[in-house]
């Protein structure tokens, strides 16, 4: 049997469903998921996949890797170490369980998945990089940051991988970060186009739950995707209801947050939820106020040490005595984090930054399909604060452009 026919068989709906059932326990696949997987595996197309939060995005880049009979591996570019660790842990769990059941549909164990970021030791990194350069690597799925991808050392690895033709495809998770962060905050996102230079025949999959036409076009252009197949699911989440609550001064705002959280805890004091805040200091203030009101709460933001953030996230996800039931977080939290029980409480917002962000962040709620309420708290001062941040951002961009122009002048 030829390699091409093997690939086609691997991409059949029946085979994809069999592996999805054997490994993940899913009885069915969404039509959009099948379209994405077959485009990658059968047609070797670039794919742009827009979906609502909870739309099964991770399955679209995990399942083809496990279903394909081709030797090689896939790269999954992810923005946050916490997100990578969360997905790696869950994937290893399902692979271990499936392997223990001696299921013939699963050919990969938990050790076939890895992360390539600052959380691993130099020795672990070296072993992983050596494996990826083999013609039949033992590693099947690698989560990696955009900064690692664009490093000079990894570019050399990609060159060897391209020669071996062992990179099956590359998936860019939370691809909207290319547009939102790549211009200034994390320029490594704009450098992901090196895939086209070093691995020109490798399909690219861009996944996002925040996709306006402008963001979609920017992502496609930045990655230099070739006539990508665009697969979009409806963003309608009928189980979510939205409301807006006006808050006055800071004390009144804090009182409103306490009130909303208490009303949200319809399942009792151990039900879980999120309060999204605009600034790091707000996370600390809100968490402290909730704690003072007898609510188990914790703060989560990028200014905290990695280990502390990881512990708070794990405690919140797993629950248990003393664990925070309400997390007060900036946008540093939440991408891809799956906690079905967060569907019951309400979710609170300090500031309506833009429609796309609210849709994305509120999408954390109701992932179990049960009714959930999303509450936006705002005051007249919020608009002025937002204008200040926007002005500062553009001023920073102008300053960087001026500095770059001076460098070019020599």
pLDDT tens string, the chain, 410 residues long: the values are 333 333 446 889 999 999 999 999 999 999 999 999 999 998 889 999 988 766 688 999 999 999 999 999 999 999 888 788 888 999 999 998 887 666 667 789 899 999 998 888 999 999 999 999 999 999 999 999 998 998 888 999 999 999 999 999 999 998 988 887 655 557 888 889 999 999 998 999 999 877 688 889 999 999 999 999 999 876 666 667 777 777 776 677 788 888 888 877 655 666 678 888 878 898 999 999 999 999 999 999 888 887 888 788 888 877 777 888 888 988 767 554 555 444 344 444 333 344 445 555 555 555 666 666 777 777 777 767 677 766 766 666 666 656 644 544 44
Q: What is the pTM of this model?
A: 0.72
Which pLDDT score, from 0 to 100, does residue 276 have? 84
Per DSSP, which regions of 282-366 are E strands? 297-300, 326-329, 347-349
- Which of 141, 214, 221, 211 has its CA nearest to residue 175? 211
Interior angle at CA 81, CA 363 and CA 257, nearest 5: 40
Q: What is the pLDDT of residue 335?
A: 54
**Fold agreement (13-232, 240-378):** yes
Contacts of 111 by beta carbon, 8 Å cutoff, 6+ apart: 138
- CATH homologous superfamily of 13-232 equals P-loop containing nucleotide triphosphate hydrolases (3.40.50.300)
- pLDDT of 61: 96
Instruction: Please give the CATH topology (third level) of the domain spanning 240-378.
Output: Rossmann fold (3.40.50)
Measure the CA dihedral 331/332/336/338, to 10°. -90
Instruction: Name the residue ranges covered by the structural domains of the chain.
Output: 13-232, 240-378
């Amino acid at each position: 049997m030829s390699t091409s026919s093997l690939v086609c068989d691997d991409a059949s709906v029946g085979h994809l469903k069999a592996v999805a059932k054997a490994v993940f326990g899913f009885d069915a696949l969404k039509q959009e998921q099948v379209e994405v997987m077959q485009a990658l595996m059968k047609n070797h197309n670039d794919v742009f996949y827009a979906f609502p939060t909870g739309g099964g995005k991770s399955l679209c880049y995990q399942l083809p890797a496990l279903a394909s009979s081709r030797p090689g591996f896939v790269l999954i570019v992810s923005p946050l170490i916490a997100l990578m660790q969360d997905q790696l842990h869950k994937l290893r769990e399902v692979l271990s369980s499936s392997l223990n059941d001696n299921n013939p549909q699963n050919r990969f164990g938990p050790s076939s998945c890895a992360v390539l970021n600052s959380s691993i030791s130099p020795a672990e990194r070296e072993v992983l990089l050596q494996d990826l350069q083999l013609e039949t690597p033992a590693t099947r799925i690698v989560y990696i940051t955009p900064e690692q991808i664009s490093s000079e050392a990894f570019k050399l690895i990609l060159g060897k991988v391209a020669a071996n033709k062992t990179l099956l495809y590359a998936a860019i998770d939370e691809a909207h970060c290319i547009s939102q962060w790549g211009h200034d905050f994390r320029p490594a996102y704009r450098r992901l186009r090196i895939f086209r230079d070093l691995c020109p025949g490798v399909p690219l999959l861009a996944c996002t739950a925040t996709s306006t036409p402008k963001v979609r076009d920017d992502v496609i252009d930045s990655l230099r995707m070739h006539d990508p197949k665009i697969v979009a699911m409806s963003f309608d989440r009928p189980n979510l209801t939205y409301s807006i609550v006006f808050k006055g001064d800071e004390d009144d705002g804090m009182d409103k947050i306490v009130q909303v959280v208490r009303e949200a805890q319809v399942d009792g004091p151990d039900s879980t939820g999120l309060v999204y805040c605009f600034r790091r200091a707000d996370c600390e203030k809100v968490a402290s106020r909730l704690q003072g009101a007898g609510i188990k709460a914790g703060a989560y933001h990028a200014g905290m040490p990695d280990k502390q953030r990881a512990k708070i996230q794990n405690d919140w996800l797993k629950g248990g005595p003393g664990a925070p039931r309400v997390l007060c977080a900036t946008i540093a939290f939440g991408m891809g984090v799956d906690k079905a029980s967060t569907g019951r409480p309400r979710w609170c917002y300090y500031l309506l930054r833009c429609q796309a962000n609210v849709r994305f962040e509120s999408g954390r709620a109701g992932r179990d399909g049960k009714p959930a309420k999303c509450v936006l708290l705002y005051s007249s001062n919020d608009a002025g604060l937002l204008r200040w941040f926007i002005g500062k951002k553009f001023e920073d961009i102008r300053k960087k452009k001026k500095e770059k122009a001076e460098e070019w002048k020599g």
